Structure 1
Amino acid sequence: MPFVEPVLIPHDGPPDVALWRVDIAFDASLNDAAFASLSNDERNRARAFYRHEDTLRFATVRAALREQIASRLGISARAVSFSADANRRPQLADSVALDFNVSHAGAYGLIAMSAVRRVGVDIEERNDKFDWRSITALTLAATETVWIAQQLDPGEQRAAFYDAWVAKEALVKTTGVGIARGLQHLTVLPRESAAVTLRDPVPDDMHELAACWIAAPDAYAACVAWSTATIAR
């Protein structure tokens, strides 16, 4: 399997935020040369997934992430080393020169990266077989649930739910703070444009964050978020 080159995606966020889409090849194998840069730990994590599809999602996005970081830092992809911060958010082990975040679902992955600010990204597949209403209490604020039920027709409700889900995931992944509190404590609906509007009350740890929804493949929703303050060096 040749390495699949990530596709650079345009968005309405700051120009220093780079965003790529990664296409997952499900006929690949972990033994393929495309995954040669993965560490032993990453290979073990990939093999631990029950489904082959999940193995390839993780391995493909991680390999693509290594290539993009290596290109920025001028090192080999194999030499990239990861660790986790106090919020268990992945980061570079030996450098604060880049911040990054990844997400994958279905046949696609996303990578966000910036040299000057924190970033978060999320992509979800709008699966018609998934009962999205079963997790609204964990995902939506009460006002969002009411708005979806009263203002949207059935054909629009699923899309609105996924818009809220990816926006909130991208925002909390930007810092790793707020995940334990739950997505239902953020309010982003109704959606008025590509820009995500965090509606009152805005949690204290979300005041310096922004986000925008991005163009996603058919049957997917996606969002990228970033800190409005730059990273201290």
Structure 2
Amino acid sequence: MYSIESLALPHGVPPDISLWRVDFAFDASLDNNAFASLSDEERARAQCFRRHEDALRFASVRVALREQLARHLGIAANAVRLTLDTNRRPHLADSDAYDFNISHAGAHGLIAMSPRRRVGVDIEQYSEKFDWRSIASLTLDAGEAAWIERLEVTQQRAAFYEAWVAKEALVKTTGVGITLGLQHLPVLPRDSVEVTLRNAIPDEMREIAARWIAAPEGYFACLAWSAKTFTR
């Protein structure tokens, strides 16, 4: 159905954060017992996808998430209750014991989790057919776009993906996004695994950190987290 692997994290990531990669098996059926822990709402949502691959991605990551939360909470996977907050961000319905975030693309998904802080994660699959300029104005600031244009053609698309996953992870950590758009979070040029915001930092990002993380060949990924821990 799927396999899951705990990932080593770059230097500087808080030790309370856990990260897993989920690898999908697209020949699986949603009727398999491996998906028995899905809620009725999750199962109905999976069945709404037109493509079987998309349904499997959603269902597999949700089951894997349920199993990890259940293991930490000491309950059965089907007893984990998830709901959405006012910003449509999933969270535990009965507890604030863990924050988590998920992302999936292609054959892989990521799950980030912490009992102490908010987390955000993003993974994207590289495509030679993708025209990064078609969404550059919605994703990059003028300086980033100009910097990418100065790169070799073979490097431009990869640089765009690096910016994209970093910005998505940062925004997903806040839970509210950024009102003005991703183009107001410049992170290029990249000079290390640490994500550095290059201009004036928006208020909602002042206590957020991020690192680019190793991803399977043909993928780009980033993990972000809040420096401020939960008060319980």
| TM score, norm. by length of structure 1 | 0.96
2:203 corresponds to 1:226: no
2:9 matched residue in structure 1: 11
1:136 matched residue in structure 2: 136
Task: For 1:122 and 1:146, locate their aligned partners in 2 and report how far apart those are by CA, in whole Å.
Answer: 24
CA contact (8 A) 1:119 1:225 kept: yes
2:31 matched residue in structure 1: 31
Larger deviation, residues 7-16 vs 100-109: 7-16
CA contact (8 A) 1:89 1:175 kept: no
Task: For 2:179 and 2:89, locate their aligned partners in 1 and report how far apart those are by CA, in whole Å.
Answer: 13
The residue type equivalent to 1:188 in the other structure is V
CA contact (8 A) 1:18 1:112 kept: yes
1:22 matched residue in structure 2: 22
Task: For 2:3 and 2:184, locate their aligned partners in 1 and report how far apart those are by CA, in whole Å.
Answer: 37
CA contact (8 A) 1:138 1:184 kept: yes
Which sections of structure 2, spanning at least 5 residues, go unmatched?
none
Task: For 1:8 and 1:56, locate their aligned partners in 2 and report how far apart those are by CA, in whole Å.
Answer: 20
Task: For 2:22 and 2:199, locate their aligned partners in 1 and report how far apart those are by CA, in whole Å.
Answer: 35
1:122 matched residue in structure 2: 122
The alignment yields a C-alpha RMSD, in angstroms, of 1.0
- How far 1:90 moved relative to its partner? 0.8
- How far 1:182 moved relative to its partner? 1.5
Residues 59-94 of structure 1: CA deviation (Å, up to 9, x unaligned): 000000000000000000000001122222111000
Which sections of structure 1, spanning at least 5 residues, go unmatched?
none
- How far 1:180 moved relative to its partner? 4.4
Residues 184-232 of structure 1: CA deviation (Å, up to 9, x unaligned): 1101000000010112111110000000000000110000000000012
CA contact (8 A) 2:122 2:169 kept: yes
1:184 matched residue in structure 2: 183
1:79 matched residue in structure 2: 79
Task: For 1:167 and 1:123, locate their aligned partners in 2 and report how far apart those are by CA, in whole Å.
Answer: 9
The residue type equivalent to 1:196 in the other structure is V
2:44 corresponds to 1:44: yes
CA 1:180–1:54 in 2, change beyond 3 Å: closer, same or farther?
farther
Matched residues, percent identical? 65
1:45-124 equivalences under 5 Å are 45-124=45-124
Partner SS, residue 129 of structure 1:
coil
1:212 matched residue in structure 2: 211
Task: For 1:36 and 1:198, locate their aligned partners in 2 and report how far apart those are by CA, in whole Å.
Answer: 42
Task: For 2:92 and 2:30, locate their aligned partners in 1 and report how far apart those are by CA, in whole Å.
Answer: 23
Residues 149-191 of structure 1: CA deviation (Å, up to 9, x unaligned): 12x1111111110000000000000122224431111010000
